[in-house]
Chain A
Amino acid sequence: MLLDGSTLPALARGCAILGAGGGGDTAVGLLAGLQAVEDFGPVPLVDLEELPEDGLIMPAGGVGAPTVSIEKIESGEEGGRLREAVEAIRDRPVVALMAGEIGGSNGIIPTIWAARLGLPVVDADGMGRAFPEIPQVAMEIAGISPNPAVMTDERGNVIVFRATDGDWMERMERAAAVEFGGMAWSSEYQLTVAEARDGAVVNHAVSLAIRLGTVVMEAEHDPVDTLAREIRAARLIAGKVVDVERRTTAGFVRGAVAIEGLGPDAGRTLRLEIQNENLVALEGDRALAMVPDIISVLDSQSAEAISTERARYGQRVTVIAFPCDPIWRTARGLELAGPRHFGYDLDYVPVEELHDLA
């Protein structure tokens, strides 16, 4: 399959749905992608099976504040600098780019760079969704080292990080991103095709996003319902955003969105707890869905996913939840990205045990 003017719009929609509210604004990512394939030609989307076993895959994406990314757009040359640094340090060529996270604009960014570099994008990612922290990737679970990480800005500055563990990588990179103006571009956890095939990535994440986007765009009548059936999602509530509370603590957005039910859901109120992404959906004291399962807020009419950044009073939304990639349901996966990691006194219960799925 080719990533080009006909597939990128669907990819962008799918990335927004898988983003669980985070990952950055897909509208900007889409335009940059469209310009890149117009100027440099389409990008092949390749399966892991099509790549040489010992080839090096470069996961990459943006680190920073989504509000900055809709204003200070990338130059387009960042990926080339990251590749150059990675190849120099590792002394071997990169054979394909990969999204660190498929959710949000970070799912599209590798295409923008791959078009310029003449490289393919591999049909996989590190999460199958979006998460707030750098070590929350399948590569970490598989024991791949985050080192050496490389970060660059639009001016041409480059930093190489070597951290004692993923948490330190997160702390150092976040501090540097602030200094660069709230947004920077980085690659961590580079791995070989063999390691990726061995389960160190979430396979087929890009084609999944394209399929979801296509389903929504081609839905004849009720796009929300069509999407829910396609991904076997639970509909948590359909209603209206009545309160948006967001505050910055320790460099993250934390807060909550309250949704009041309308129609058949009248009288119910759902509270979505947020740390960049939607983490837990609560009705009173009861958790209706929780991280690492994916909780997405959709425009009730168009099924377009609304990021936490764009949630606003009065929006008519439907909240859905659907199962995450199985890797996050392992003991290590839950330790890295389960409800307790984010400070909730909750035992993880898979969404399909809480609800009948569509």
Chain B
Amino acid sequence: MTSPDLRLGVDVGGTNTDAVVLDADDRLLAKAKVTTTSDVTSGIDAAIGEAVEGVDRARITHAMFGTTHATNAVLERRGLRRVAVFRLGGPATHAIRPLFGWPSDLREVVSAGERIIDGGIEFDGRELSPLDRDAIVRFAGEVAGRAESVAITSVFAPVSDEHERAAEELVRKELGDVPISLSSTIGSVGLLERENATVLNAALVDVARGVAGAIGGALAAHGLAPVAFFAQNDGTLMDLEFAIAFPVLTIGSGPANSIRGAAYLTGRSDAIVIDVGGTSTDVGVLVNGFPRESSFGVEIGGIRTNFRMPDLVTIALGGGTVVRENALGPDSVGYRIGEEALVFGGSTPTLTDAGVRAGRFVLGDAARLRARDDLLLEAIARSDATLADAIDRVKVSREPAPVVAVGGGAPLVPDDLAGSSEVLRPDHADVANAIGAAIASVSGEVDRIFHLGPGGREAAVAEASQDAVDRAVAAGAASDTVEVVDIEEVPLAYLTHPAVRIRVKAAGPLAWELTSRGTPEEEP
């Protein structure tokens, strides 16, 4: 019997859009790689069309997308909504105003105004100060007509969202049907990082809807009706509706996907992963089968967040990197490589040309590289040294380590890369990102402060773990396979009343039985 058992994985990058089809045992059945188009939609459409050709479409029940669309929107300051920023925390928190430290051009595009209003919660759930409702109504009136989206962040919202909810109601009355993002639904403890994420989320509302629409259109055009998921920053999945509500969580999903994809393709659980794209190269570390995460909050477009993301070194080096006398990049011809590179008949020497000259790629017309030997060989030597240096920066020991080369530009990585014990080049390395998206787990996370009652910390950990599992299931994980993958406790220092901050993450494979998702199991 042929049951619905196939998954479609799609990665929308800056240069290429890749698609793969995997079966229930994670076997690769089909793959496609097309150039990302300026409208994004037609690239997605073409990649999906090519991948599902010859596959029984009715069997495709799930589609997983990884996209840099939200990241690029922030980096390029385009398609962002203007956000009214409410912070509930006065008279505290004035020492750092909302959006302080943001790049000024981004703040100009994103902010419809910022206000610190009296209110907020204490760590133990008491009110920091009474919520100043009049001030909320006043500020909402001031930004009316200018604000296209709203972000509300209260001090200690992870402990209680009471003031955020009350403020939401008041803003709704004043501004009507405007999207409102609440920090309690987005981030963990750490006011500024959570506020930044909430504001970015509010700004990205259209981007998320746009991508979701493009995906929906492409799937429908190819006769597919799968449940769609988005990859998030730590490499796990969330469902499409969740991604539309929380687009900020898709930021940075690409590197996590490529590292997971590399683990899948090589069967290795510990290695350095080099993902060579058209414009840039990410070097990350695979530890026990997962991307190693950064010890500190990650910066996105110059904004500090508390997202968990792979600990990466990103360098401006890729197949499209422009080669000059004594210089490599940092500019790239990007998706125009098919016209601009020398081997393809263009007039711009690129790292791809250097790779062809050095015998690493067999591409285009090598004869067109004659008389450019000095330039190209010097470029490849420079590229090798840059890659070796990047490896050295992510390594924590001097011993050589295995390296997995993935991405469209993987052949640029030399076999004798300094600092490597071996260079692995798995089949299908060019679509590692899309594979990583297709095989990712669905996760749920809790990060809250608990006041220890009679059950002590065991009861608190159990409650947090259950919440994390529930969130994973709500996001699409199969309820019988979800497990807690990380527990972190931080008791609050100097306090005489026992309280502890507990962070739990649960993750599990996708639910194949979608009908049972989110409803309690009923035994007859």
Enumerate chain A interface residues (CB-CB to B < 8 A): 27-28, 31-32, 34-36, 63-68, 70-77, 112, 132, 154-156, 174-175, 177-178, 181-182, 238, 240, 244, 246-248, 251-253, 262-264, 276, 299-301, 304, 306, 309-310, 312-317
Enumerate chain B interface residues (CB-CB to A < 8 A): 89-97, 100-101, 120, 122-124, 126, 128-129, 155-156, 189-192, 287, 292-293, 295-297, 304, 393-394, 396-399, 449, 486, 488-501
Q: Is the CB of A312 within 8 A of B488?
A: yes
The SS class assigned to the B binding surface is: loop
Q: Is the CB of A75 within 8 A of B490?
A: no
Q: Is the CB of A74 within 8 A of B92?
A: yes
Contacting residues, chain A, for B497 (C-beta < 8 A) = 178
Which of A27, A77, A177 counts the most B-chain CB atoms under 10 A from its CB? A27
Q: In the docked arrangement, what's the CA distance between A312 and B488, Å?
A: 8
Q: Is the CB of B495 within 8 A of A182?
A: yes
The SS class assigned to the A binding surface is: mixed
- Contact partner of A301 (CB less than 8 A), chosen from B93, B394, B488, is B394
- Contact partner of B494 (CB less than 8 A), chosen from A240, A252, A300, A317, is A252
Contacting residues, chain A, for B287 (C-beta < 8 A) = 314
Take A181-B123, A252-B493 as given contacts and tell me if A75 and B295 are in contact as well, using a CB distance cutoff of 8 Å.
no
Q: Is the CB of B396 within 8 A of A65?
A: no
Q: In the docked arrangement, what's the CA distance between A236 and B122, Å?
A: 39
Contacting residues, chain B, for A181 (C-beta < 8 A) = 122-124, 126, 128
- Contact partner of A174 (CB less than 8 A), chosen from B304, B490, B496, is B496
Contacting residues, chain A, for B126 (C-beta < 8 A) = 181
The 5 closest A-B pairs by CB, nearest first: A263-B397, A76-B95, A154-B92, A248-B491, A65-B492
Contacting residues, chain B, for A246 (C-beta < 8 A) = 489-491
Q: Is the CB of A155 within 8 A of B129?
A: yes
Q: In the docked arrangement, what's the CA distance between A77 and B399, Å?
A: 52
Q: Is the CB of A31 within 8 A of B192?
A: yes
Which of A71, A304, A310 counts the most B-chain CB atoms under 10 A from its CB? A71
In chain B, what residue has the closest Cβ to A265? B397
Q: Is the CB of A75 within 8 A of B120?
A: no
Q: Is the CB of A71 within 8 A of B91?
A: no
Contacting residues, chain A, for B129 (C-beta < 8 A) = 155
Q: In the docked arrangement, what's the CA distance between A73 and B190, Å?
A: 10
Q: Is the CB of A75 within 8 A of B92?
A: yes
In chain B, what residue has the closest Cβ to A315? B295
Take A262-B396, A313-B488 as given contacts and tell me if A177 and B494 are in contact as well, using a CB distance cutoff of 8 Å.
yes
Q: Is the CB of B490 within 8 A of A32?
A: no
Q: Is the CB of B92 within 8 A of A73?
A: yes
Q: Is the CB of A263 within 8 A of B399?
A: yes
Q: In the docked arrangement, what's the CA distance between A313 and B503, Å?
A: 12
Known: A73-B89, A276-B494. 14 other contacts (CB 8 A): A27-B297, A35-B97, A72-B128, A72-B156, A74-B92, A75-B91, A77-B94, A132-B493, A181-B128, A248-B495, A248-B499, A251-B495, A262-B396, A263-B396
Contacting residues, chain A, for B90 (C-beta < 8 A) = 75
Contacting residues, chain B, for A74 (C-beta < 8 A) = 92-93, 95
Take A253-B491, A301-B394 as given contacts and tell me if A31 and B100 are in contact as well, using a CB distance cutoff of 8 Å.
yes
Q: In the docked arrangement, what's the CA distance between A317 and B91, Å?
A: 38
Shortest distance in angstroms between A177's beta carbon and chain B's nearest beta carbon?
Answer: 6
Contacting residues, chain A, for B124 (C-beta < 8 A) = 181-182
Q: Is the CB of B296 within 8 A of A299?
A: yes
Take A76-B94, A312-B295 as given contacts and tell me if A68 and B394 are in contact as well, using a CB distance cutoff of 8 Å.
no
In chain A, what residue has the closest Cβ to B503? A312
Shortest distance in angstroms between A316's beta carbon and chain B's nearest beta carbon?
Answer: 4
- Contact partner of A36 (CB less than 8 A), chosen from B95, B101, B120, B304, is B95
Q: Is the CB of B396 within 8 A of A300?
A: yes
Q: In the docked arrangement, what's the CA distance between A312 and B505, Å?
A: 14
Q: Is the CB of B493 within 8 A of A71?
A: no
In chain B, what residue has the closest Cβ to A263? B397
**Can you pick out 13 interface pairs between chain A and chain B where the beta carbons lie within 8 Å of each other?**
A27-B304, A35-B96, A67-B501, A68-B492, A72-B120, A178-B496, A178-B497, A182-B495, A248-B495, A276-B493, A301-B394, A315-B295, A316-B295
Q: Is the CB of A175 within 8 A of B396?
A: no
Q: In the docked arrangement, what's the CA distance between A74 and B129, Å?
A: 14
Take A67-B493, A301-B393 as given contacts and tell me if A72 and B122 are in contact as well, using a CB distance cutoff of 8 Å.
yes
Shortest distance in angstroms between A221's beta carbon and chain B's nearest beta carbon?
Answer: 9
Take A71-B155, A264-B397, A299-B296 as given contacts and tell me if A66 and B493 are in contact as well, using a CB distance cutoff of 8 Å.
yes
Contacting residues, chain B, for A306 (C-beta < 8 A) = 295
Contacting residues, chain A, for B495 (C-beta < 8 A) = 64-65, 178, 182, 248, 251
Q: In the docked arrangement, what's the CA distance between A175 and B496, Å?
A: 7
Q: Is the CB of A155 within 8 A of B91?
A: yes
Q: Is the CB of B191 within 8 A of A73?
A: yes
Q: Is the CB of A73 within 8 A of B96?
A: yes
In chain B, what residue has the closest Cβ to A74? B95
Contacting residues, chain A, for B399 (C-beta < 8 A) = 263
Contacting residues, chain A, for B95 (C-beta < 8 A) = 32, 35-36, 73-76, 112
Contacting residues, chain A, for B296 (C-beta < 8 A) = 299, 304, 310
Q: In the docked arrangement, what's the CA distance between A50 and B86, Å?
A: 45
Take A72-B120, A72-B155 as given contacts and tell me if A263 and B398 are in contact as well, using a CB distance cutoff of 8 Å.
yes
Q: In the docked arrangement, what's the CA distance between A251 and B68, Å?
A: 45
Q: In the docked arrangement, what's the CA distance between A240 and B287, Å?
A: 11
- Contact partner of A72 (CB less than 8 A), chosen from B93, B297, B486, is B93
Shortest distance in angstroms between B485's beta carbon and chain A's nearest beta carbon?
Answer: 11
Q: Is the CB of A67 within 8 A of B96?
A: no
Contacting residues, chain B, for A73 (C-beta < 8 A) = 89, 92-93, 95-96, 191-192
Q: Is the CB of A31 within 8 A of B101?
A: yes
Q: In the docked arrangement, what's the CA distance between A247 and B490, Å?
A: 8
Take A263-B399, A316-B396 as given contacts and tell me if A75 and B94 are in contact as well, using a CB distance cutoff of 8 Å.
yes
Contacting residues, chain B, for A66 (C-beta < 8 A) = 493
Contacting residues, chain A, for B192 (C-beta < 8 A) = 28, 31, 70, 73
Q: In the docked arrangement, what's the CA distance between A155 and B90, Å?
A: 9
Contacting residues, chain A, for B94 (C-beta < 8 A) = 75-77
In chain A, what residue has the closest Cβ to B313? A301
Shortest distance in angstroms between A205's beta carbon and chain B's nearest beta carbon?
Answer: 22
In chain B, what residue has the closest Cβ to A36? B95
Contacting residues, chain B, for A263 (C-beta < 8 A) = 396-399
- Contact partner of B123 (CB less than 8 A), chosen from A71, A155, A300, A309, is A71
Q: Is the CB of A28 within 8 A of B96?
A: yes
Q: Is the CB of A156 within 8 A of B91?
A: yes
Shortest distance in angstroms between B73's beta carbon and chain A's nearest beta carbon?
Answer: 25
Q: Is the CB of A251 within 8 A of B496?
A: yes
Contacting residues, chain B, for A248 (C-beta < 8 A) = 491-493, 495, 498-500
Q: Is the CB of A182 within 8 A of B101?
A: no
Shortest distance in angstroms between A99's beta carbon and chain B's nearest beta carbon?
Answer: 16
Shortest distance in angstroms between A258's beta carbon and chain B's nearest beta carbon?
Answer: 15
Contacting residues, chain A, for B295 (C-beta < 8 A) = 299, 304, 306, 310, 312, 315-317
In chain B, what residue has the closest Cβ to A171? B496
Which of A28, A67, A75, A300 counts the most B-chain CB atoms under 10 A from its CB? A67
